Structure 1
């Protein structure tokens, strides 16, 4: 009698476990999807434009760590790159420092009273001595003063008097200043002058990159968008107007996962119960 009852319970729990497992497979085909009216659907190296600016997607991949929507050990990310054709650059000119423009070295002097920046040519005394055949190629120093020595009669003359008048250029605020960059001389504008330094600015193209994340906001040309990854090789750029629909789809997916996890629980627990019933059927009895 005990074995017949245990066998009946075994069959019942086994049927429940199998039925729940089978229903999981059926339910999987009904998994709700996120369906959005995307502004652009991109794969690696594909592009789209917003107000004349071209954006390029790259590096679409599953990042390590974290936990994207729906579980898992990571979340999808991508890079979106574009060129800002009129990006603002600034540079600081330190008072008393030197700069090189067209292979000539200048001393920078800032004057906050006149709001000006002055460049004073720095003379290469050694080079000038070599170029003047009337004097020796080295200076003589007496009582802390440097002198040039004339070859003809060894006459001495202070170097400061012998040197030519240095070239100077003065640039006021709003004036055009030749700033030396790695790629050459950049015409800039003086925007601020103090006793310690001056600031110049210019506008030029700049490469920009932003990281896209699932559901993360991004501003492109003053317009708000967010990102969605329908699979591991595609990213959608979607207007924020679609965000309520996106959130509704996520809520439906969460509900689906909750119910699916519940079915897994029923299937597993019923399977365990069936095994226990089967084991109980063969337990030895007293007497």
Structure 2
């Protein structure tokens, strides 16, 4: 009787296993279809008045275009140095405001330039870095230091920071006579300075000049009471400030042209912390097309799907419908895995019952 009951259970589990396996073989996987426009290599996709070229190869691709109206910006910090190559400016008496660029050719290299609005690989948007101290000269240009009035070292210098009748006179780079509490120049700092121009002051490579001067004994500077001296081979000395030539100064205002990386660049703004430049340029833009993934072009979102030959790509705007079909397909796979689990467990159960039923009985 025990073996007869075991046989019934064995048959039951075998039937269940066969039924589950049969369902896995006859079930049809739901397809994922994308209704949209088909594109091949070299076709053009027009989106919001912009033409994108389609590049397709071996099941991968991208959209590309040349943006010809990109606004790039760069900034120079106060007290940073610039290397001008063949740049000329109108001279401004006493370094006053109002001067502008007479003409510029060639790039300017800066140690404190930061470029935004474009990638670092964009032609014409890169800055060549150099030591910020201004101690490196180039035969093709002259180094200048950016000096913004009333902003050097955060002190109200080279003038008065006043508001109404309250003023703070600059003495030795600091606001003398305490703080101007009613003049918006507290703590000796120019708190609200309206700056519209900056000065470029020539910066010298002292070490290189001394090495090139045969009359100088060595390149070391003797310092006496904080004053640097140059020692000549004949034993005489001279203050370093007197040894160096008078530095050239150039004044630049907002809106003036500026020689920067061969671009048609202008000064966009000046504040107490630095100078900002702006120019128009071109930039290559591209968007990758990954199979089954969303891609946004302009304000339009597409889903990409490649053809069987991997030489065409279909772009569809029905992103929600595509995601729903993917969900149905994932659910189908889950059900198939469940049926396989039922078949395997049923076979194992039948084997186990058969083994237990035919164990030898003692006595």
State the TM-score, normalizing by the size of structure 1.
0.65
CA distance in 2, matches of 1:172, 1:58: 51
Distance 1:281 1:255, change over 3 A: same
Are the aligned partners of 2:229 and 2:237 in contact in 1 as well (CA < 8 Å)?
Answer: no
> Offset of 1:217 from its aligned partner?
4.1
CA distance in 2, matches of 1:195, 1:87: 27
Residue equivalent to 1:120: 201
CA distance in 2, matches of 1:82, 1:110: 40
Q: Which runs of structure 2 are paired with 1:75-94 in the superposition (5 Å)?
A: 84-94=67-77
Are the aligned partners of 1:34 and 1:230 in contact in 2 as well (CA < 8 Å)?
Answer: no
Are the aligned partners of 1:119 and 1:170 in contact in 2 as well (CA < 8 Å)?
Answer: yes
> Offset of 1:259 from its aligned partner?
2.4
Secondary structure of 2:31's partner? Answer: coil
Do structure 1's residue 18 and structure 2's residue 99 form an aligned pair? no
Do structure 1's residue 34 and structure 2's residue 115 form an aligned pair? no
Do structure 1's residue 100 and structure 2's residue 83 form an aligned pair? yes
Question: 1:222-270, CA deviations, whole angstroms, 9 ceiling, x for partnerless residues?
Answer: 3223455789x7996744x302211321232133123212311321221
Residue equivalent to 2:336: 260
| CA-atom RMSD in angstroms | 4.5
CA distance in 2, matches of 1:148, 1:278: 109
Secondary structure of 1:117's partner? Answer: strand
Q: Which runs of structure 2 are paired with 1:1-287 in the superposition (5 Å)?
A: 1-27=1-27, 30-39=28-37, 49-50=45-46, 51-54=50-53, 84-102=67-85, 103-111=141-149, 113-122=194-203, 137-138=215-216, 144=227, 166-179=247-260, 184-208=261-285, 217-227=294-304, 238-239=315-316, 241-285=317-361, 287=363
CA distance in 2, matches of 1:156, 1:282: 116
> Offset of 1:212 from its aligned partner?
6.3
Are the aligned partners of 1:117 and 1:171 in contact in 2 as well (CA < 8 Å)?
Answer: yes
Distance 1:57 1:106, change over 3 A: farther
Residue equivalent to 1:68: none
CA distance in 2, matches of 1:89, 1:8: 82
CA distance in 2, matches of 1:275, 1:142: 99
> Offset of 1:211 from its aligned partner?
6.5
State the TM-score, normalizing by the size of structure 2.
0.54
CA distance in 2, matches of 1:224, 1:259: 32
CA distance in 1, matches of 2:42, 2:303: 17
Residue equivalent to 1:71: none
Question: 1:21-55, CA deviations, whole angstroms, 9 ceiling, x for partnerless residues?
Answer: 2331332xx2112111245668xx98864422336
> Offset of 1:17 from its aligned partner?
1.1
Residue equivalent to 2:176: none
> Offset of 1:163 from its aligned partner?
6.9
Structure with greater proportional strand content? 1
Distance 1:200 1:11, change over 3 A: same
Secondary structure of 2:318's partner? Answer: helix
Structure 1 unaligned segments of length 5 or more: list them: 62-77
Aligned residue pairs: how many? 255
Residue equivalent to 2:109: none
